């Protein structure tokens, strides 16, 4: 999953980005509304985490722009504006959730995860596929209750395939979801991660098929 973080406080942005990257998410972090608009215009995201008090404008203007364009991108607002009216205004403008600073990173993770799951079809926190389960909140994959040793990138790859089980997922889509723009990665990196994940799943009868010229398909059990 790929997130866009718009926060001008460099320390806070670094901590938030580090937290989500440790869970396997790709995070693009910018500090201005202009940079956010540029990123949104070139890259699809699964979640926008947005500060409202930006140096070049109000973050709510960005939310209005998204909703006028009929974008359904989930938006989680971070702000120091703690009044009831501020929260109501933010939600009525089109934000999906509102978190007041200071906040606990654990709560931010939980709220972000809920919005991402809602945005990809309303799936629950636990994804099941035959003998395989993935707890997207706890970031634990298991086969018949036995935890799999999956590095964060393989875990995120598995989540992407599970959410689209029975459908072909293009390599380019996987590349965009797994790596942020400041990471130097190509399609061959996707092939490597798929190969590693396949070796761990196939002994349990779970197959990731390569659809030549298109991408990968997690076969239905």
Tell me the per-residue pLDDT of 73-95, one tens digit each, with 9 for 90 and over.
Answer: 999 999 887 778 888 888 898 99
Instruction: State the Cα–Cα distance between residues 25 and 156, nearest whole angstrom.
Output: 7
Q: Are residues 102 and 145 in the same domain?
A: no
Give me 89's structure tokens.
């205004």
Q: Are residues 75 and 152 in the same domain?
A: no
Torsion (CA) 6, 169, 166, 164 in degrees, nearest 10:
0
Instruction: State the Cα–Cα distance between residues 180 and 166, nearest whole angstrom.
Output: 26
Q: What pLDDT score was predicted for residue 7?
A: 95
Q: Which of 25-29, 138-142, 144-148, 185-189 has the highest mean predicted lDDT (pLDDT)?
A: 25-29
The DSSP result for 35-92, as a single string, is: HHHHHHHH---SEEEEESEETTEEHHHHHHHHHHTT----EEEEES--SHHHHHHHHH
Q: Are residues 38 and 115 in the same domain?
A: yes
Q: Are residues 106 and 173 in the same domain?
A: no
Which of the listed residues 59, 91, 119 is the one where a domain comes to its end?
119
Domain containing 44 equals 2-119
Q: Under 8 Å CB-to-CB from 159, ≥6 apart: which residues?
A: 1, 24, 127, 134, 136
**What 3-state DSSP class applies to 99?**
strand
Q: Are residues 106 and 132 in the same domain?
A: no
Q: Are residues 92 and 185 in the same domain?
A: no
pLDDT in tens, 18-44: 999 988 889 999 999 999 999 999 888
The whole-model pTM stands at: 0.78
Tell me how many domains the chain contains: 2
Q: Are residues 40 and 68 in the same domain?
A: yes
What count of other Cβ atoms lies within 10 Å of the Cβ of residue 35?
Answer: 16
Q: Are residues 28 and 52 in the same domain?
A: yes
Give me 42's structure tokens.
């070139």
Confidence band of 50 (pLDDT split at 50, 70, 90): very high
């Amino acid at each position: 999953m790929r997130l866009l973080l718009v926060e001008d406080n460099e320390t806070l942005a670094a901590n938030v980005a580090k937290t989500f990257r440790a869970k396997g998410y790709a995070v693009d972090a910018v500090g201005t509304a202009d940079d956010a608009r540029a990123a949104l215009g070139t890259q699809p995201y699964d979640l926008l985490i947005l500060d409202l008090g930006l140096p070049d404008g109000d973050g709510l203007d960005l939310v209005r722009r998204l909703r006028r364009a009929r974008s359904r991108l989930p938006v989680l607002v971070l702000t120091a504006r703690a009044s009831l009216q501020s929260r109501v205004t933010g939600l009525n403008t089109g934000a999906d959730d509102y978190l007041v600073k200071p906040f606990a990173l654990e709560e931010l993770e939980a709220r972000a995860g809920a919005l991402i799951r809602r945005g990809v079809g309303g799936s629950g926190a636990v994804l099941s596929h035959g003998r395989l389960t993935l707890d997207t909140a706890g970031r634990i994959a298991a086969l018949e209750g036995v935890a799999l040793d999956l590095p964060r990138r393989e875990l995120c790859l598995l989540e992407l395939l599970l959410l689209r089980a029975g459908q072909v997922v293009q390599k380019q889509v996987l590349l965009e979801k797994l790596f942020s723009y400041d990471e130097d990665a190509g399609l061959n990196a996707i092939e490597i991660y798929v190969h590693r994940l396949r070796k761990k799943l196939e002994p349990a009868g779970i197959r990731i098929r390569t659809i030549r010229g298109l991408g990968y398909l997690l076969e239905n059990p």
